[in-house]
Structure 1
Amino acid sequence: MFAKGQTVIGYMEQLAPKHLAEEWDNVGLQLGSLQKEITGVLVALDVNDAVVDEAIAQGCNLIIAHHAIIFRPIKGIQTDTPMGKLYEKLIKNDIAVYISHTNLDVAEGGMNDWMAEALGILEGAPIKDIHTEQLSKLVVFVPKDHHQKVLDAILNAGAGWIGNYSHCSFNIEGYGTFIPREGSDPYLGEKGKLERAEEIRIETIVPQPIRNKVVQAMLKAHPYEEVAYDLYSMDLKGRSFGLGRVGKLKEPVTLGQFVETVKSGLQVDQVRVVGDLNRPIRKAAVMGGSGAKYYNSAIFKGADVLVTGDIDYHTAQDAFLAGITLIDPGHNAEKIMKVKVAEWIAGKLAEHKYGTAVHASKVNTEPFAFL
């Protein structure tokens, strides 16, 4: 049995929720349809002719990529232009393209965590926060004999997280009153008579992105025909998500030694370096893609070095004067996501016994040759 496109993307968005993307970004389905069975998924960094040919050869009708094929609004598609030909090939071969970009960068367990792990950065925290979860307080009244069932449903749906503590709730016993009217089908009491029921008030915290999921789980588990519950907006903020990662290394190394770690960890043959190769490195920062403009944030977090791509000449000069060293492994170092995303989706599909194949693209989309 093959998974539907929406199912596959549902798993992808568990890893990298769309709401984590920056406002300027263009993520999500960019071409094709998800209303079909997916025979195969190809995970790629970029989408070009060679990648599309690879998808066709592998029998894949969905490409999940990091970099968009449509970034700015287009006024037309001319099939005698390079991009027009690419769109035409995708459409003719019924291949959908889904993009996960800054949301994958920001996500916990996503791009920047993978890069930090590859470089030996311990307990990496974001270099720059860009998204903070809004929290709501959920209050619901439950008859005593269903208290545990409803509480479990709410907490298992993801509510009740405070910092590193899960399943947080407060429960108070009391009495609820109601009169079932004509047309009702009460779980407790008789129509037209005042009912005084022993109930438990459950209170817990719910992050905004999963409010609907938690409420639906609660309603499904609750025995009442009409469920009494409240959702209160809170000034208290939830978890913060951000770009890049910064943290200590297991032990101090020189910049020169750390360069070798970068080359092996990110699988690149050459890097550009700004700084004294003998400088000791105790705390390192990494940001996938083009993150040089965040060097001041990395300095503020105590980093001795920032690893990121596309560093321009003047930013390199400014960063050096500010006292931080830089390593540029190139933008293509983000290719680490191909295997990681493929493993994530394959694991989810196998868990639910789907026969959809998942492949990490083997096409090298690095546009530069180093001579």
Structure 2
Amino acid sequence: MATTVREVIDALEGKVSAKLAMKWDKVGLQIGSMNNRVDKAFTTLDITPETLDEAIRRKAQLIITHHPFIFDPLKVIRTDEVKGDMIARIIKHDMNVYAAHTNMDIAKDGLNDWASDLLELQNVKILEETDTELLEKLVVFIPSEHVQKVSDAIMNAGAGHIGEYSHCGYYLEGTGTFMPLEGTNPFIGRTNKIENVEEVRLETILPVSIRNQIIQKMMEAHPYEEVAYDLYPLNNQGEKNGIGRVGNLSSEMSPEAFIEKLKQAFQIPSLRWTPGVSETISRVGILTGSGASAIGSAVAKGCDCLVTGDIKYHDAQYAHEQGIHLFDIGHFESEITFVPSMKKILQNQVEIKGLDIEVLGATTQKKLLITK
């Protein structure tokens, strides 16, 4: 059975939800149709003439880009201009374009977690909080002999997480009653006869952002024609989401030694450094992409340094005034890991969903700012 764009996006957003994105961002499907067929997905940091040529050559139907291909509203689409020509070629080849931008920056195991792993940071926390997950309580009634199957489906879909614990639930035995009416096809019982069935009341907690996929999996596993379940809004605070990360090095090191660590981790020949007051680096803040706005947050979180990209002169001046080391490794260099990280996430998600597609990574992405 053919896989659709919708199925691939639903699988991906189970891990990198579009709802995580900053309000100003332009994420999601930008060109194409949710109903289009996908055999190959192609991940890239940017859609450029080179990466688009590669995607066409490798016969990908879905391009997943980090930086949104369309950010500002289009006033014209002219095929004698580069942008318009690329749009025309995407449509001509029946391709679809999807952007995962700040949601990928914020997501667990997203870009900032990958960058933290490259630096081998420990006790990693969020640098800047963006929102707190909304939670609901799910209560469902299950015939006793099907409890394990339904419970596994619910928990494996993402319900039942409380802090560092998973598969959290409460099970209460009882008796359920119902009477199938005319036109029904009951799993248990007969039409127009009241039935008494030994059932288990399962209570668990779920994030609102993935409620629909949890309910879908519950319905698929539940034997009843009409599933009795309730959803209750909760005031409990769920998992905090945020952009950037803060973590500790396994041992403190000099700024010069840390520079060498950055060069090795991000495979760069050079970087820009604004010296701070600390003689050693121990606590590190990192924000991939353009992160000058997080200097104050890094200071507030007790960081010795901030690692980011796109630093301007006055950003460096502010960091100097605050006494924090500022390392500019480059926008491209800090985010090029999007290609392997998104490829890995999508491969895992489509395997979980049982989707038959191939996931490709761009090899033609060019660094545009070159230091000589």
- The superposition leaves residues 234-279 of structure 1 with CA deviations (integer Å, 9 ceiling, x where unpaired) of 0002111210111000110111111111122112222111115972
How far apart are 1:295 and its partner, in Å? Answer: 1.4
2:371 corresponds to 1:370: yes
Tell me, in whole angstroms, the C-alpha distance in 1 between the residues paired with 2:351 and 2:37: 16
**1:197 alignment partner, SS class:** strand
Corresponding residue of 2:300: 300
Task: Tell me if structure 1 keeps the 8 A contact 2:248–2:283.
Answer: yes
Quick one: structure 1 residues 212 and 361, their matched pair in 2 at CA, closer, same or farther if it must change by over 3 Å? same
Q: Which residue of 2 aligns with 1:154?
A: 154
**TM-score, length-normalised on structure 2?**
0.90
Whole-angstrom distance in 1 between the partners of 2:136 and 2:216? 15
Structure 2 equivalent of residue 131 of structure 1: 131
User: Could you tell me which of 351, 359, 362 is aligned with 1:360?
Assistant: 362
Counterpart AA for 2:214? V
Matches within 5 A, 1:43-192: 43-189=43-189, 191-192=191-192
1:140/1:203 contact within 8 Å kept: yes
Q: Distance in 2 between matches of 1:184 and 1:40?
A: 42
Measure the CA separation in 1 of the matches of 2:11 and 2:304: 37
Cα distance in structure 2, aligned partners of 1:7 and 1:100? 16
| Structure 2 Cα separation of the partners of residues 336 and 77 of structure 1 | 31
* Alignment match, 1:336: 337
Tell me, in whole angstroms, the C-alpha distance in 1 between the residues paired with 2:160 and 2:278: 48
Secondary structure of 2:238's counterpart equals: strand
Change (3 A) 1:78 1:173: same
Q: Report the Cα distance in structure 2 between the residues aligned to 1:325 and 1:187, rounded to whole angstroms.
A: 66
Where do 5+ consecutive residues of structure 2 fail to align? Answer: none
Q: Which amino acid aligns with 1:359?
A: G
Return the alpha-carbon distance in structure 2 between the equivalents of residues 346 and 221 of structure 1: 24
SS in 2 for 1:235: coil
Q: Is the 8 A contact 1:131 1:241 kept in 2?
A: yes
C-alpha change, 1:186 and 1:340, in structure 2 (3 Å) is: closer
In structure 1, C-alpha distance between the alignment counterparts of 2:43 and 2:269, rounded to whole Å? 23
| Structure 1: runs of 5 or more not aligned | none
Q: How far did 1:127 drift?
A: 0.4
Q: One-letter code of the match for 1:107?
A: A
Letter in 1 for 2:327: I
Matches of 1:69 and 1:117 in 2, distance apart? Answer: 28
Question: Alignment partner of 1:327: what SS?
Answer: strand
2-side partners of 1:223 and 1:2: how far apart?
A: 27
| Kept after mapping to 2: 8 A contact 1:135/1:236 | yes
Shift in CA distance, 59/226, structure 1 to aligned 2, threshold 3 Å: closer
One-letter identity of the residue aligned with 1:362: T
Q: Is the 8 A contact 1:45 1:67 kept in 2?
A: yes
The DSSP-based 3-state class of the residue aligned with 1:54 is helix
1:220 CA drift (Å): 3.0
**Shift in Å at residue 26 of structure 1?**
0.6
Kindly, what percent of the aligned residue pairs are identical? 41
Contact kept? 1:136, 1:234, Cα under 8 Å: yes
Q: CA RMSD in A?
A: 2.6
Q: After superposing the two structures, state which structure 1 stretch, 194-203 or 252-261, moved more.
A: 194-203
